[in-house]
Structures are given as structure tokens and as C-alpha cells.
Structure 1
Amino acid sequence: MRRALITALVVTAAFLCGASPASAHPMPHSVVLLDVHETSVTAHLQLPAGDLELARQGEPISAYLAAHIRPVTTDGRAWTVTIGDLTVGRAEQTSTGPYQEVVAAATLTPPPGGDIRHFIFSYDVIVHQVVTHTVLVSVRQDWAAGRVEPDAVQVGTIAIDNRTMTVPALDVNLAHGSTWSGVVAMVKLGGGHILAGTDHLLFLLILLLPAPLLAAGGRWRGPAGTRAAAGRIGRTTLAFTAGHSVALALSALTHLDIPAWPVEAFIAASILIGALHAVRPIFPGREAVVAGIFGLGHGMAFSFTLAEMQLSTGRLALSLFGFNLGIELVQLALVALVLPALVVVARTRIGPGFRIAGATVTGVAASGWLVARLGYPNPVAAAADGVGAHTTPLLLVLTATTLTALIWMLAGLRTRSVRRCASSGVASG
């Protein structure tokens, strides 16, 4: 008996030791991302394929998901669940290796009178069979709460209760939402989009670079008057605003399905043309017209951001207003920031060198973007994108340039004033 017991213990220990590497290997968890709309919630499911196969036991995936996703109102009334398209791909989580993942979308619609912002999320996909499985539930988009950025905020975790061996439902309470929160968030998103979109920023700046100059004989000559330069800069900025505002509204409200790459390539080409114009005048005096035309392409690019949100018509109209307002506020601030520098530098000996250097750097970046957006990745485009991820240094450079230009201008005015006083003193003497 003793020998048999010892043998059994040794076999058990050997089995456990041999199984420990596999059992200790972390298993991937599921992810549920909620997009909260005006009348429904879209749940984006990211499910480990292996665990899903084990849990559904041959049942069709759509039917299985519909049976195990059961949101209800706080008073117990069932929501309607509609399963959308399914795709399979590769995924990798921090604590696991690569694995196959099933991605699905479920539309959750409350009954009449149901609160879209507070519901009980009864969900046990995979968890009811794989007791070690965990589901992370996060809100990715919630316009009424001012959440329009892509970063998700976790609202809870779903896992089996080891004491009762049941899967408790998750109480999803998104608190109060308002139209004001949504509009303010869109203003911030628009402002952030123009700052993060280095290509949009460079296009505007490169068109403004030669604005304080007069063209003659196919070259940029002397500086224009301050009033003429300010007027040209103002018209160019307003035309660009009008162009992208019209395109943004049309493409967003009519739900135009435009491929992204031709629009992005068009934007890169517009920056390259602007850089060439800054070196040699291609369309002198017509910068506003060109800015308006090219602004149409930039507006289509902006519309991709709004299209991803799947907003209702009313919220989309308010979002267009807020998004555009954010863009314009940042553009006006940037124009006010660079206007003094452009006017002053154009009147100095370093003006031509400053213009050529700025146009060259911009042209190189635009060429890299154009090639990359036509399907040929390259280090120039990657470097330009890297700079775009850090707009603070660019803003600091613009600020320093403007301050230097203002100091230079004030010093020049003071010198001329002293000379005039000295001349008046000599004349009176």
C-alpha cells in the first residue's frame, strides 16, 4: 500500500511538473469596446478563436453570440441584439503570444423608453465554458459624454464568480450626457486634428511664406506693403477655410465613400506645389484661389474622422460646426503667430534664405509623403510623420521666430527714430 501510494504521488508530481509550462502560459482575454450612439450601442467584440471554438461547441457563431449577449434595462426589459459581420485575423496581447482572433460587431438597441446610458450588460461569451476566461469591457466612443477620441476607458470586467460558479452581469452606467459636451469635444478634436496633421499645417504655412512678397519676371522680388501682405495672408487663410469647410460638410452629410489614399496623395501633391511656388512664383496673386481649391481635398481628409463616428444627422451637423470651429480657431492662432515674422523677415537680408530653406524642407517632406501614399513607403515620409507627432517643438520654433522678428522690428523702429531725432537736432542747430 505504501509503495503504491508513493508511486501515485511520484506520477502525479511528474504530471504536474510536465504540465506546468502549458498551464502557466497566460491565455488571451476577450475585449468588448462600446460605441454609444444616440439610439443604440455598438459592441465591438475581440474574441480569441481557440476559446470561442471550445465554448460554442459547433453552434453557428452568430447564433451563439446572440444567445450569450443579453443586455436589459435596469427594470429588466430585454434589448434587441443584432450580430453583424465576422472576420478572423491575427492578434497579440502583452502577456500572450500571437493567436487567431474573431472580430464581430453587435448592435444593441434598447426597448422604447430604455435608457441608452444605463443598462445591465449580461454577457457570458466564452466565460460560461472557459472558467479562467476574462472579458474587459470599455467605452471607446460616447459623443454625449464628450468622448470622441479613439482611446478607450474601461468600465468593468466580466469573469466567473468562483463562489457561485455564475457570471455576474455588468452594470454599465455612463452617467449624464449632453449636447454641449459633444460639441465642446468636437471643437477640441478639430483643433487637435489640425495640430497633429502636419500636412495640413505645412500646406497653410507654405502658402503664406511668400505672401508678403511681390512677384515680377518669374521671381519673388521686394516686399509688399504691410497692409497688402496682411490682406493676402487673410484671403489665403479664409479661402483655405472655405474650401475644406465645404468639402467636409458635403462628404460627411452625403456619406460619400471615397478611398483614403487618393485624397491623402492629393494633399501631399498640394504641399509640393505650394513649396515650388514659394521658391518661384507659379500662381502669384492667386494664392487664395489655389488655397480654396486645394482646401477641398483637405476637407475630404477631415471628413474621414467624422465618418468613423457613425453619428446621427443632428449630431453630425453639430459635430461639423464644432470640428470646423476648432480647426479655424487653431488656424487663426497660427496665422496671428506667424504673421509678424513673415512680414518682418521678408524685409531683411535673411528673407530669401529663410524662404528657400523652408520651401526645401517642406518640398522634401511632401515628396516623401506623395511617394508613400502612392504605395511606396520610404524613410523621408516616416521622418516627416515622426515630426508631426511632436508639434510642440514646431510651435516653439514659430513662437521664437516671431518674437525675434518683433524684437528686430522694434529695434529698427527705435534706430530710425533716434536717427530722425538726431537729424532734426542737427537741422535746428
Structure 2
Amino acid sequence: MDFSKVRLVLQGGTVKGTTEIAVPALQQVLGADFTAADHDVLASYLREHIAASADAGAWPLTIGAMTTREADGMTWVTTAFAFDAGSAGAADFLFEYDAVIEAVAKHEAQVVVTDGSGDTVVRGVLTDMIPAVTIHPQAETGLGDMVGQGFRHVQDGADHLLFLMTLLIPAPLIAVGRRWAGRRALRGSLWAVLRVATAFTIGHSLTLIAAAMQWVEVASGPIEVLIAISVGVAAVHVIRPLVRGGEDVIAAGFGLVHGLAFAGILAELGLDGSASWPALLSFNLGIELAQLTVIALVFPSLYAISTTRWYTAVRVVGAACVLVAAIGWALDRLGVHANPLAPVEDAAVTHSWVVVVALAALAVVAVGRERVAAEPVPVS
């Protein structure tokens, strides 16, 4: 409930829109007794917190019908609204929106724009620091925002992050049969990382594009379960190699599944089947940049630890923790049991820098202790 979705459709002299807000978020500003049936209360509130203007001044606002839907265990209220832009409808205009944001600092609103040609793109994210955005007649001008959306949704996706990080753990190792029995040099390790990253990229890019363009359609429920399974399989492979070079196969195969989940993000934003090719590719670029960022921040520490005797313990304990997290996700997404690790997951995503710093600190300690142990004892 920490974000709202605003969609604007540019139609000549009229700008039509909808805003979707979770009821618990609205209760933070309208009182705990607010319900989805309190249309007049919500309409009055939105009139004070939605505005659009051009050089000639503010545009008249009309609040329209309201509908509700159930998702993520909450009721969401969608409210239609429209601006009469008159002759200024084809020009740039300033869109202002701070519903809920004005009272809840961490709340955000994603603004999606569909232009006159039918192309749709995320135009920006409004926060308490950025309560307005300039809307251009052509949606393509928001490609930078699409890159940001792709990056952000990987950054906020604990399962995607954990899957990628788990695939990086075996990169410095060599599999002999069904066990890890050797270590690669730096060059070989980097080549292994490149193969994994490329395989994952190819896999998720194919299904992201196919699903976003509505060439294929898969229910989100099974996809989320399969993603949890993918994390579990990656963890098992870290403990005992499933097949030689298996991380490449796992990355490519389950990358197809993760791509469908990324496409689901676009659908949630209202971009399924309507995103322009530049917008779609920009979103995918954001995903790749997030992936490269994870590799750059995590792999150096993993490789440093792999040069010490600590790596076996780090590998096994880390994989066991990942496997527990995957089981928790699977049970939760199957409706069997609520994920007991959800608070830990939220904390790790919110403070992901702590994980990076902790891993780097562990690498420093492991390498330092190894060097101390290797130093000859002076003879007196």
C-alpha cells in the first residue's frame, strides 16, 4: 500500500485519468473508519490533491466514477477523473498529485501516460519531494523513467535478487561429478559470471517481450511459485552441483520464468500490450543495469572469500539460508502458510547496502585471517 498508480490518457483537448489507491493507505489520511463505499469523502479529498495546468492557468477538474478490486489482500479503489484542457490540450502541461503523499512521506505515486498514438510509458514517480511532473504530448519522452522502473523493480524484488546472487556463488568453483572439487582462477571466474549473466538476460528478455506484447499469456500465481522454486533449485545447486555448468542452464531456463514476472510488473502499470518498443527496451535495459550492479557489488567479495578455506562454510550456510527463504516463498504463494521470513525479507531489501557491506567485511576478515595463518612463525 506504499504506492498508488495514476494513469493519464491524452485525447486532444481532454486529459482523462484514473488513480488507484489501497484502502489502508486512504485510511491513513481519511480516518480509520473510511471504507471503499465512502465515495463522496474520497472525491472531496482528491479534488484538493489532483491538479493540472499550462501557461494559461489551471484546468477544470471533474471527478468521475469509482470502482474497487481485491489484490494483495487489500481493497483498492480506482477513481476516474478528467481535465478540460481546451485549446492547450496538445501542449506540455504540469500534473500535480499528492494524494496520501502529503501525509505519508514514504508513499509514492507512479504516473503512466498514454499518448494520442496509443503508446504508453511510465512518466515518473511522485513523492513528497517531487509532487509534480511535466507531461509531454508524446509518451516516448519518458524513456529514462522506464529505465528507472526496470532498475527499481529488480532492486525491490527479493526473489529476483536472491536468485541472481545464488547463481554467482559457484562461479569461482569447478564441479567434478556431483561435487565442488576445485577453484577457478580470476579469469575463469569472470567468464563463468559472464555466461550466467548472459544466459539469464537472454531467458528473461525473451519472455518479457513476448508477454508484454501479449504474444503469450500466463497467470501470475503459477509464475510466482515457479520463481520460488527457481531460487530453491539454485540453492541446491550451490550445495551440490546438479549438472556440470548447471548455473548456466538454471539461469537460462528459469530466466524465462523471471521474464514473465517482469512482464507482470508492466501489466500492473497498465503497459501490457500498449508499451512502445523503445519503452519496452528501456524497461529491459533498467533490468540489465540492476543485474550488473548486483554483480559488481557482490561478486568481488565472493571471489575474495573463495580464495580462503572459509568458502565452503560460507557456500553451504548461505545456500541453506536461501533454500529456507525459497521454501517460505513457495508455501506462502501456494496459500499453505504465511511466509514467516517476510519481515527479514523486507528489512534486507530496504537496507540492501547492509548486505553488501557485511559480505565485503566478511571477505576482508576471511582473507586477513588466511594470510595471518599462512605467515611463518619466527624462530627465536
Q: What's the TM-score, normalizing by structure 1?
A: 0.62
CA RMSD of aligned residues (A): 4.4
Is the 8 Å Cα contact of residues 234 and 247 (structure 2) preserved in structure 1? no
Query: Are 1:243 and 2:203 an aligned pair?
Result: yes
For the residues of structure 2 that align with 1:231 and 1:120, how far apart are their CA atoms?
47
Q: Residue in 2 aligned with 1:339?
A: 299
Query: Are 1:278 and 2:238 an aligned pair?
Result: yes
For the residues of structure 1 that align with 2:244 and 2:375, how far apart are their CA atoms?
34
Counterpart mapping for 1:197-236 below 5 A = 197-236=157-196
Query: Are 1:378 and 2:347 an aligned pair?
Result: no
For the residues of structure 1 that align with 2:183 and 2:20, how far apart are their CA atoms?
60
For the residues of structure 2 that align with 1:200 and 1:289, how far apart are their CA atoms?
16
For the residues of structure 2 that align with 1:207 and 1:278, how far apart are their CA atoms?
8
Q: Residue by residue, what CA displacement relative to the aligned partner does 1:149-195 show, whole Å, maximum 9, x if unpaired?
A: 4758997xxxxxxxxxxxxxxxxx96453767511122222222222
Structure 1: runs of 5+ lacking an equivalent: 1-31, 56-70, 90-99, 122-137, 156-172, 417-429
Q: Residue in 1 aligned with 2:90?
A: 115
Name which one, 1 or 2, has greater alpha-carbon Rg: 1
Q: Residue by residue, what CA displacement relative to the aligned partner does 1:218-255 show, whole Å, maximum 9, x if unpaired?
A: 21112133332221121011111111111111111117
Q: Residue in 2 aligned with 1:298?
A: 258
Deviation (angstroms), 1:265: 0.9
For the residues of structure 2 that align with 1:197 and 1:400, how far apart are their CA atoms?
24
Does the residue aligned with 1:114 lie in a helix, a strand or coil?
helix
Q: Residue in 1 aligned with 2:80?
A: 105
Greater shift, 207-216 or 269-278, is seen at 207-216
Aligned residues: 323
Which residue identity lines up with residue 35 of structure 1 in the other structure? R
For the residues of structure 1 that align with 2:76 and 2:236, how far apart are their CA atoms?
48
Query: Are 1:35 and 2:10 an aligned pair?
Result: no
Counterpart mapping for 1:48-59 below 5 A = 49=37, 52=40
Counterpart mapping for 1:138-149 below 5 A = 140-143=110-113, 147-149=123-125
Deviation (angstroms), 1:297: 1.1
Q: Residue in 1 aligned with 2:24?
A: none
Q: Residue in 1 aligned with 2:67?
A: 86
Which residue identity lines up with residue 19 of structure 2 in the other structure? H
Counterpart mapping for 1:399-414 below 5 A = 399-401=360-362
User: In 2 relative to 1, CA 228–252 (structure 1 residues): closer, same or farther, beyond 3 Å?
Assistant: same
Q: What's the TM-score, normalizing by structure 2?
A: 0.69
Which residue identity lines up with residue 308 of structure 1 in the other structure? E
Structure 2: runs of 5+ lacking an equivalent: 22-34, 44-51, 97-107, 115-120
Q: Residue in 2 aligned with 1:389?
A: 350
Q: Residue by residue, what CA displacement relative to the aligned partner does 1:273-306 show, whole Å, maximum 9, x if unpaired?
A: 1111101111221321220110111111111221
Is the 8 Å Cα contact of residues 43 and 105 (structure 1) preserved in structure 2? yes
Q: Residue in 1 aligned with 2:100?
A: none
User: In 2 relative to 1, CA 74–119 (structure 1 residues): closer, same or farther, beyond 3 Å?
Assistant: farther
Is the 8 Å Cα contact of residues 365 and 381 (structure 1) preserved in structure 2? no
Q: Residue by residue, what CA displacement relative to the aligned partner does 1:324-350 show, whole Å, maximum 9, x if unpaired?
A: 222212222322333333333223211
User: In 2 relative to 1, CA 306–153 (structure 1 residues): closer, same or farther, beyond 3 Å?
Assistant: farther
Is the 8 Å Cα contact of residues 252 and 303 (structure 1) preserved in structure 2? yes
- Considering Cα pairs closer than 8 Å and 6+ residues apart, tell me whether 1 or 2 has the greater RCO: 2
For the residues of structure 2 that align with 1:103 and 1:109, how far apart are their CA atoms?
20
